[in-house]
Structure 1
Amino acid sequence: MHEQTDAHVAAQNSPEPVETPAKPKEKARGEQRGRKAVVGSVASALLVLAGAGAVVAAGSVLPPTASSRTVPPAAAAVPAGATQGVCAGPARLLEGTEAGTDPQFSPESATAATSVTGAVLSSAGAVPPSRLAGLDGKTAVELAKSGEKAPEEGAQKLLAGVVAARPVTGPTVLSADPLANQQASAAGAMKFSATDGDLQGTAAANCLRPSNDQWLAGASTTIGRTSVLVLTNASSTPATVNLELFGKAGRIQAPGSRGLLVAPNTTRSVVLAGLAPAEAQLAVHVRSTGGPVAALIQQSTLRGLTPGGLDFIAPGAAPAVRQVMPGVDIQDPAAVDSLLGNAGYEDAGPVLQLTVPGPSDAVVEVKLLGPDGEKALPSGGVVTAKAGAVTEVSLAGVPAGQYTVSASSDVSFVATARMARGLKAGSASDMAWAPSGLRLGSQHVVSVPAGGTRRLVFGVLDTRATITYAAITADGKVHAPASADIAGGTTAAVTVPEKVGGSGVLGYVVSASGDAAYGAVLMYGADGRNDISALGLLPAAAGQETVPVTVGY
């Protein structure tokens, strides 16, 4: 190969081309050397390619260098925040036009009374600093100042800071600071009652934790029915609220339902009849940007000149494939059927409302779990709920008592259940809505306002569950717990005593173990009145949370 190359170079450098004829043997040897050179070149190229492939393959199997490895994000503890519950103000009677979002209200009745009851549990051996204040920040009651110490000896392990039936004239905020970097366990409830006027009856609502996304169902804007959405912003950040409305026929496009501004530390009322008039079944999806808000609906009924009930509709669980409503009170089926036959009393019976926000219909199976097991609905218990609309299912026709309503489907939906008290047409009656609840866990603080008959109602879905409940009294003591073993597929009710240990009962600490269990508080009027109200159980305090933290650029 070298000889051929040198001859070629010599020929290029000579002044004139030289052509030397080759002898036959030399020519044969040259051709043989040429073929060997070509084969050698091909072999060298293959060796080079093979070497390069080996380098690439080696690079793909060798571990990466330390600088290219992925490091999982570290978990950083988040300081516990304050617990806050916004308690609604008194119910007010709407007057004047029902259009617009700045309604006028008439004065309260002579017998109307509104109060707040709440409790904060001790943590790390002390009661967290806590208070009940107005939206302006002015403190009305201090439940604990700098952390009241819990006793170290004896059976008493928990202590509570309490506020018992504190009269209020407007919205308030029950708040508790974290202690030992743990969120406080606290709960409060507002109760309104009146024995005269168009708003006579009893209505109660939990002191709600503000949120940016909430579902409320059960409103009605037909003749004689008044629905007022109350939005409260207890933060220091303005909130912009958008409403999605769902009726019997589907979604409702309502001008004026978007971009509602709620200033910091203020309340704004929205008359729903101005957005969706003549709707017998109305659900509202409340979403806010900026500050979170507490939302509820003041719902009242007037049948001609006869008061037909008052309630505060609270948010229920977010859309899911199963919804559970404990504490649904149903009256005698024959008497209910007779009452529903009167004009204007079409909504005086128990019903389940289903709202499907998505694009697909939901086939929903409904079960009623009573004290002695499941009761069959006359309708069969299976219903198709239309997509983007509200569907009603009658719950009438089962024996009187307290029930847990369980609804399940393969499509997410929202649910709530209505109950009523009063079986005589022309006499004052009352109604209440039981929103879908949450599965019980450990150490839920439950507020139980005073007055009338009060019951804790628990429902268990499948197998068995054990519920423990310890009374909280007005002297700040948390008493020894009692327990109830509840069979699956049943509902059990516990009557709340007026006093324990000589002091009034204003709440409970509730825990559950075993199968999925749900709970609610039912309140009935005193002196034979038809008043009724229901409270769902609030989530237990969250433990210390962590978030993943990554460092990059």
Structure 2
Amino acid sequence: MTENRTPAEHAPGDALAAHPAPEHAAPADPAPEHPAPAERSTSRRRVLRRVGTAASGLALLGAVAAVAVAGEMTPVAPAEVLDVRTVAVPPSAVERMCPGPPVLATALAGEDLDYDEFDPEGAGTASRVDALALDRADADSAAGTLAGEEEELTLEGTDEARLAGTDGVTGWRTLTAEPSGDRAAFVGGASASRTESGDLRGLFAAPCLVPATTSWLVGGSTETGSSAQLVLTNVGQTPATVQVSAWGSTGALETSAGASVLVAPQAQEVVLLEAVTGADPRVAVRVEADGGQVSAYLQDSELRGLVPAGVSAVVPSAEPAREVRIPGVVLPESGAADPDPARVRLVNPGDTLATVSVVLLGPDGELVVPGAEALAVDPGTVVDVSLAGLPAGTWTLDVRGDAPLVAAAVLTRAGAEGEPLDRAWAPATEPLSSGLVVLPGLADAATLTVANPADTAVDVTLRPVTADGERVADVVVSVPARSTLAQDAAELGEGVVAVELQAGAPVHVAAVLTAQAPDGELVAVLPASEDPHAATTVALSRRIPVLH
């Protein structure tokens, strides 16, 4: 089967516009006051320096005299140095929003569709939410709750970790934890849903999300047969007005009045993007909240006729930057002509052309994606780059451009032709030195992926936590420069439900979850959550004059 691609899609080996690969040169040292050409001799430089100093002094006196004559005195700015200090913000309670299970778009629209030979509900959805708070070195694990509309669970366990979990959830949950000593609680959680038949067949997983004023969601489609539900949740105490901006395959998408949404306190609103933006095969969304913070994600799902083609949570990607990394890209064996390959989605939200390179970081180092050494991404557009035919294994995508970009990747698990498939969106992540991955119990297996984009190796300590709140033995791994390490969670200990990470330098972390359905494999990607205490320390800078 031959894949049909629109002009903005790229496969490895495609003939692409030749643009120079972006360079990332280190900032140059400050120039001396009176530089001399490098080709001149030392003695000549000394002479010129004396002449230049005298000339500069005369010029300065002349300038001061000219200003004085005009009746004004303008101070000459002295040289400055930048003083950067970190300031700890007093910790407050940590709040997270844990997504509920996926919902049929027809249910949101109030429609009751009846298929003669196919049940959209399928065999039903198993769903679960798990949360835990870890101890600090000088304080017990924080007190916390996992609350829904009809229940409130207290995190319980040991002084090392307190946990809460519930099955059969039908809606979102709020995870709240009080400070741990004088620091924010080290807390995290995850939601998971498993559906083995019906329209929503797939493994759906997401971390408990941090409320934010701005979120970038990269993934999904609004073409016929696809649905992209934008889920906005306000766990705060004040209403928030949300503005939705969207980009597609040909540029910024026109949005209807539904692009401005009022989300009441402790409430959730769902927007069908296909009703707001119209049809487009590739979409990316920016959510901006005013008056409060919201948690945002997309529920991406697709049907091909009556055959389900996957469901996935599209959670926030890292903010636009010239360098972004996407961990958790586990590729199966594939050929160049596969109809449903993994892809990387690139978004250029700016107003200038971006030249982009895409590199895979694997267990043995780097691999340039063929045909993606110098991609031209037009302003305001979204492009997909196929990863078909690349070696199977665990990878991290290293995306670099000469303009800020947003990115994500989609993994696919397909059966025989005409059979259902599942897919999972992996977001670009922010680097972290301390983080947590909560492993929900509905997956059959979990692979932890740790990417080191730096030029030197980094040691990472993995600290597993079991379901009874106990810590098992730490595992210290060394991740070589420019590479990705894959760790089977089952090998860390029996009954492991979460893994804390402490790294000697910033890394990118995600867990890839898999489950076996009767008609094929299901897949989901779960990015790690950063230690909330990192958000309570801010960097302040000031310029200090240097007097000569």
Q: Determine if the TM-score, normalized by the shorter chain, exceeds 0.5.
A: yes
Q: CA separation of 1:76/1:225 partners in 2, compared to 1, >3 Å: closer, same or farther?
A: closer
The match for 1:381 is: 373
Instruction: Answer yes or no: is the 8 Å Cα contact 1:296–1:313 preserved in 2.
Output: yes
1:301 CA displacement: 1.1
- 457-466 or 212-221: which moved more? 457-466
Are residues 1:141 and 2:133 paired?
Answer: no
TM-score relative to the length of structure 1: 0.77
2:131 counterpart (118, 138, 141): 118
The match for 2:91 is: 80
SS at the partner of 1:531?
Answer: strand
SS at the partner of 1:275?
Answer: helix
The match for 2:504 is: 513
Instruction: Answer yes or no: is the 8 Å Cα contact 1:453–1:526 preserved in 2.
Output: no
The match for 1:236 is: 237
Q: How many Å separate the matches in 2 of 1:413 and 1:319?
A: 5
Q: CA separation of 1:349/1:161 partners in 2, compared to 1, >3 Å: closer, same or farther?
A: same
Structure 1 stretches lacking a partner, 5+ long: 1-52, 61-71, 97-101, 151-158, 341-347, 549-553
- 120-129 or 284-293: which moved more? 120-129
Q: How many Å separate the matches in 2 of 1:498 and 1:468?
A: 14
Q: Which has the larger radius of gyration?
A: 1
1:541 CA displacement: 2.3
Instruction: Answer yes or no: is the 8 Å Cα contact 1:119–1:445 preserved in 2.
Output: no
The match for 1:103 is: 109
Amino acid at match of 1:459: A
SS at the partner of 2:532?
Answer: coil
SS at the partner of 1:227?
Answer: strand
Q: CA separation of 1:226/1:467 partners in 2, compared to 1, >3 Å: closer, same or farther?
A: same
- 279-288 or 519-528: which moved more? 519-528
Q: How many Å separate the matches in 1 of 2:182 and 2:459?
A: 30
The 5 A counterparts of 1:162-177 are: 162-164=163-165, 166-177=167-178
TM-score relative to the length of structure 2: 0.77
The match for 1:350 is: 342
SS at the partner of 2:337?
Answer: helix
Q: How many Å separate the matches in 1 of 2:491 and 2:458?
A: 26
The match for 1:469 is: 462
Amino acid at match of 2:504: S
Instruction: Answer yes or no: is the 8 Å Cα contact 1:103–1:271 preserved in 2.
Output: no
1:453 CA displacement: 1.2
Amino acid at match of 2:153: V
Q: How many Å separate the matches in 2 of 1:317 and 1:103?
A: 31
1:440 CA displacement: 2.5
Amino acid at match of 2:341: G
Q: How many Å separate the matches in 2 of 1:485 and 1:186?
A: 25
Q: CA separation of 1:463/1:306 partners in 2, compared to 1, >3 Å: closer, same or farther?
A: same
The 5 A counterparts of 1:516-527 are: 516-526=506-516
Structure 2 stretches lacking a partner, 5+ long: 1-67, 76-82, 113-119, 541-548
1:512 CA displacement: 1.3
The match for 1:435 is: 427
Amino acid at match of 2:484: T
The match for 2:60 is: none
Q: How many Å separate the matches in 2 of 1:409 and 1:129?
A: 44
Q: How many Å separate the matches in 2 of 1:125 and 1:77?
A: 18
1:6-32, CA deviations, whole angstroms, 9 ceiling, x for partnerless residues? xxxxxxxxxxxxxxxxxxxxxxxxxxx
Are residues 1:132 and 2:146 paired?
Answer: yes
1:133-171, CA deviations, whole angstroms, 9 ceiling, x for partnerless residues? 02x5x6521004xxx873xxxxxxxx0011245432211
Q: Of the two structures, which has the highest relative contact order with CA contacts closer than 8 Å and spacing of 6 or more? A: 2
The match for 2:300 is: 299
SS at the partner of 1:274?
Answer: helix
The match for 1:359 is: 351
SS at the partner of 1:179?
Answer: coil
- 194-203 or 118-127: which moved more? 118-127
Instruction: Answer yes or no: is the 8 Å Cα contact 1:378–1:397 preserved in 2.
Output: no
Q: CA separation of 1:293/1:482 partners in 2, compared to 1, >3 Å: closer, same or farther?
A: same
Amino acid at match of 1:446: V
SS at the partner of 1:525?
Answer: strand
SS at the partner of 1:104?
Answer: coil
Q: How many Å separate the matches in 2 of 1:494 and 1:546?
A: 32
1:468 CA displacement: 1.2
Q: CA separation of 1:182/1:361 partners in 2, compared to 1, >3 Å: closer, same or farther?
A: same
The 5 A counterparts of 1:518-537 are: 518-526=508-516, 529-537=520-528
SS at the partner of 1:497?
Answer: helix
Q: CA separation of 1:353/1:521 partners in 2, compared to 1, >3 Å: closer, same or farther?
A: same
Are residues 1:399 and 2:413 paired?
Answer: no
Amino acid at match of 1:91: P
Identity of aligned residues (%): 31
Instruction: Answer yes or no: is the 8 Å Cα contact 2:347–2:382 preserved in 1.
Output: yes
Amino acid at match of 1:140: E
- 212-221 or 420-429: which moved more? 420-429
Instruction: Answer yes or no: is the 8 Å Cα contact 2:233–2:268 preserved in 1.
Output: yes
1:411 CA displacement: 0.6
1:373 CA displacement: 2.5
1:314-336, CA deviations, whole angstroms, 9 ceiling, x for partnerless residues? 001010111100111222122x6
